[in-house]
Amino acid sequence: MFKGFTRFLHNPGEQLKSLLNSPVEASEALSPRIIPRSEHPVSRQQISDAALKVLYRLNSAGFGAFLVGGCIRDALLGKMPKDFDVATNATPEQVRDLFRNSRMIGRRFRIVHVRFGREVIEVTTFRGKPQDEHGDHIAQQSDAGLLLRDNVWGNIEEDALRRDFTVNALYYNIADFTIHDFANGARDIKSRTLRLIGDPATRYREDPVRMLRAVRFAAKLDFTIDPATEAPMFDLAPLLLQIPPARLFDEVLKLFMSGHGLITFRLLSHYNLFGMLFPEAEEAMADAAWAEELIELALTNTDKRIAEDRPVTPAFLLAAFLWAPVAHRQAELEREGMPAIPALQTAAQEVVSRQLEHTSIPKRFGMPMREIWELQTRLPMRRGKRAFQTREHPRFRAAYDLLLLREQAGELPRGLGDWWTAFQQGDEHEQRRLLQKVGSDPASQGDRRRKKRRKPRKTDP
Ligand code: ATP
Ligand code: MG
């Protein structure tokens, strides 16, 4: 299937040969190499009908229409593209006028979404260099300047050089099915190299999120980050602290919910990036070995579920990421005399509000996350009807999973997890027996014993 493409890479034309051999900076490669259809494997069968419709309609209206970014990169790697980004020289208004089913979104970065049922095709207009001859003029304007600056239209070459990695700057032309390669992206796909276009430190300063994208693509595609692209990351990692929490949360989802979470986590830690997203989790990992183990186990679980096409929720992962700081603070508050559940709630409140300065956590994940934490305090309390009530909680399953991981990570001795496993599997008779065991085993009474011990401590200085 990829013979043509490979042949192209192995037997490049003379012009290409000289390009490959000379140390031309990607940013200096002005005219593209054009890879004819016969020499690359991207076929229209890999492109969704919706994307084809958008491309053809733009094209027949006289505009240039290209697929660009992840879909072409993934198609060249033999993966099925999951979403399609279209780039064109039509302005957003022109695009909107061509498609009834379209909507212009974003102000700072205007793009058009064309909707076909559940599929959305993102159409962007070629952008020019941020600092071109208009730069000075626009920089003098405050808010409006910013808005204009990101919506300076350009040609396809300029658009290519504004993209992040060489492998993300390959354009598939619907007019003749060629691929236009402005930055040696085809070569980097072949050698599985992630390389920023232009000067890496400058590109990270322009947009620090590119550091997270480097790690995400390296993990997902099993690519090596080129040494020059890698080098500035260690020092520039703190620039992420300036990124709005909402944008970072979007990135967190992509980083950890795409099936390669464990390796992503290890790479993020390696480049000092994890601590920029979850500083308190990072601190807790330095304090207790189980904290890191817990995160690794949760990510292993999530990756496995994704591989098996089972549902995953960010609430569970977030609960695992932030559990160590919450547990640490809860223990502190309990030592000061606060009962276990209020201590947990207060600790959760404090840790979450500090976390929100780094990444937002939408309510739909934040609420279940807190419930999973609260259940950690309830799981040991099994007397009377409590075990049955806890068992019925909508978050019981996730909380039980977290409990198992805490035991596995070495935070807790094994035992409680097994008890709950048996309780869920047992019939009525077995459940009664298990509850009796709780009643007679002083070590598993949890709540009662703690309450008694707490009282004298209240008077402690
Ligand atoms: P995937 O969709 O598989 O995560 P992608 O490469 O398509 O990967 P998107 O976030 O969909 O990533 O972005 C589409 C394209 O837009 C990218 O391939 C890249 O060319 C460009 N792009 C996205 N984010 C940036 C950025 N921060 N800086 C420069 N270019 C970017
Ligand atoms: Mg994409």
Sorted by where each starts, the structural domains of the chain and their CATH numbers stand as 3-196 (3.30.460.10), 262-440 (1.10.3090.10)
Residue bearing the CA closest to ligand 1, atom 28? 164
Has 164 been annotated as catalytic? yes
Is the distance from the beta carbon of residue 209 to the nearest atom of ligand 1 less than 6 Å? yes
The finding on whether 109 has its CB within 6 A of some atom of ligand 1 is no
pLDDT tens-place string over residues 146-197:
334 456 788 999 999 999 999 999 999 999 999 999 999 999 999 999 999 9
176 carries an active-site annotation: no
Which amino acid residue places its CA nearest to atom 30 of ligand 1? 163
Cα–ligand 1 centroid distance for 160 (angstroms): 12
**SS3 readout for the chain:** CCHHHHHHHHCCCHHHHHHHHCCCCHHHCCCCEEECHHHCCCCHHHCCHHHHHHHHHHHHCCCCEEEECHHHHHHHCCCCCCCCEEEECCCHHHHHHHCCCEEEECCCCCEEEEEECCEEEEEEECECCCCCCCHHHHHCCCHHHHHHHCCCECCHHHHHHHCCEHHHCEEEECCCCCEEECCCHHHHHHCCEECECCCHHHHHHHCCHHHHHHHHHHHHHCCEECHHHHCCHHHHHHHHHHCCHHHHHHHHHHHHCCCCHHHHHHHHHHCCCHHHHCHHHHHHHHHCHHHHHHHHHHHHHHHHHHHCCCCCCHHHHHHHHHHHHHHHHHHHHHHCCCCHHHHHHHHHHHHHHHHCCCCCCCHHHHHHHHHHHHHHHHCCCCCCCHHHHHHHCCCHHHHHHHHHHHHHHCCCCCCHHHHHHHHHHCCHHHHHHHHHHHHHCHHHCCHHHHHHHHHHHHCCC
69 CA → ligand 2 middle, Å:
6
Q: Which atom of ligand 1 is nearest to the CA of 258?
A: 4
164 lines ligand 1 (CB under 6 A): yes
Q: What is the per-residue pLDDT across 6-65, written as a single tens digit (0 to 9) for each?
A: 444 444 333 333 333 334 444 444 678 999 999 999 999 999 999 999 999 999 999 999
pLDDT in tens, 205-256: 999 999 999 999 999 999 999 999 999 999 999 999 999 999 999 999 999 9
Share of the chain above pLDDT 90, in %: 79
Answer whether 210 contacts ligand 1 (Cβ < 6 A).
Answer: yes
- Residue 204 Cα to ligand 2 middle (Å): 20
> Quick check: CB of 207 below 6 Å from ligand 1?
yes
Given the CA of residue 71, which atom of ligand 1 is nearest to it? Answer: 7
pTM above 0.95, yes or no: no
